[in-house]
Amino acid sequence: MSRHFVSTQWCAAAAVSMLLGLAAFAADDRNPLAGDAKAAKAGEYEFRINCALCHGLGARGGGRGPDLTRAVKKHTHSDADMFQVISNGIPGTAMPANGTNGQGVGMTDEEIWQIITYIRSQEVKAPAKALGSANRGKVLFYGDANCSLCHMVDGKGGRLGPDLSAVGGSRTREAMIDSVRNPSRHLAWGLTESTKEFPQEYESVTVVTADGKEIKGVTLNEDSFSVQVMDTDEKIHLLEKDKLRSFQKSRQSAMPKYDADVLGDKDLEDILAYLTSAGAK
C-alpha cells in the first residue's frame, strides 16, 4: 500500500512537471533549444529513427526525400514552420504527420525541437549553385532527350512516368542522376494508399489478354486478383488476372537507361538545372 501511495505522489509530481515542460516547448514559436549542442546530439538519434529513411543519414537526402542540409527549403523557412511540417506532415507528399506511420513511437514536442536543432546544425549555408543551364535543359527535356514523352513538368508532357514538376525540390542531385543513369536501380514510387505499408512502384508489365492481345506498360496499381495498367499509349487497362493468358511483371524500368553516350554529362546537368528550377517553385 505504501508503495502505491508513494508512486501516486511521484506520478502527480511528474505530471505537473511534465505539463509545465510541455507548455514550455509547445507554446514557443521559436526553437527553445536553438544552438544547443546537446539538443542537436539528441536530435541526431531522433533523426536516425524518424527521418533518415527518406532524408538519409546526415540529413543529406535520399531517393525518397529532399536534402535537408540545404539552407533554403521548399516548405519551411523558420523553425516554427519546420515544427508544423514535422508535426502535421505535408499533404499530397510522402511526408507523414508525426506518429502516424504506424511504426515507431512518434516524437514529443521536445524531440521535434531537438531534430530541428540537429538539422540546423547540419545546414550548409551557401546554396548549391546549379551547374547547368535551365533554359537549355528545358529545350532538351521537351526535345531531343525525349523526357517529356513519358514525364510531365507543370502540366506539360507524358503520363506514363512519374510527374517531375516537384522532383527538383524533393530529391537530391545524386538521386536524380541515379534515376537517369540507372532507372531500374530504385523504381519510383507511385500510388500510396493510406492504410498500406508500401507504395505501389513503377513496375513494368506485359500481359496477354484472353483474346491474344499484348499490352505493355506500367502498373498503376495491383492486388492478387486485379491489375490496373497504363500502356505506352497512355490507355488505362483494368484487368482481372485470372482472365489473362499471361501476366509478366518486371523490375526493369520502362524508362531506358540514359548512360553517358545517350545523354552526355553536360546535357544531363542542363536537364537537372531545369528540374531544379521547376522544383523550386
Phi and psi torsions of 45, nearest 5°:
-60, -50
Q: Is 269 in the site for other proteins (CB under 8 A)?
A: no
User: What is the C-alpha separation between 166 and 192, in angstroms, rounded?
Assistant: 17
Q: Is 255 exposed, middle or buried (0-12, 13-18, 19+ CB in 10 A)?
A: buried
Q: Do 61 and 125 form a contact (C-beta atoms < 8 A)?
A: no
Q: Is 224 in the site for other proteins (CB under 8 A)?
A: yes
Interface pattern 160-199 for other proteins (x via CB under 8 A): --------------------------xx-----x-xxxx-
Give the DSSP letter of residue 187: P
Q: CB of 196: closest distance to other proteins in angstroms?
A: 5
Q: Is 132 in the site for other proteins (CB under 8 A)?
A: no
Q: Which is nearer to other proteins, 44 or 79 (CB)?
A: 44
Interface pattern 43-62 for other proteins (x via CB under 8 A): --xx-xx--xx---x-----
Quick one: residue 108, left, alpha or beta (phi over 0 = left, psi -120 to 50 = alpha)? Answer: beta
Candidate list 111, 267, 269, 270; residue touching other proteins; CB under 8 A: 111
Q: Is 131 in the site for other proteins (CB under 8 A)?
A: no
Name the nearest CA neighbour of 138 among 271, 263, 276, 279. Answer: 271
Q: At what angle do helices 265-279 and 173-181 cross, to 10 degrees?
A: 130
Q: Is 89 in the site for other proteins (CB under 8 A)?
A: no
Q: Which residues form the interface with other proteins (CB under 8 A)?
A: 7, 11, 14-15, 18, 22, 45-46, 48-49, 52-53, 57, 63, 99-100, 102-106, 108, 111, 186-187, 193, 195-198, 201, 222-225, 251
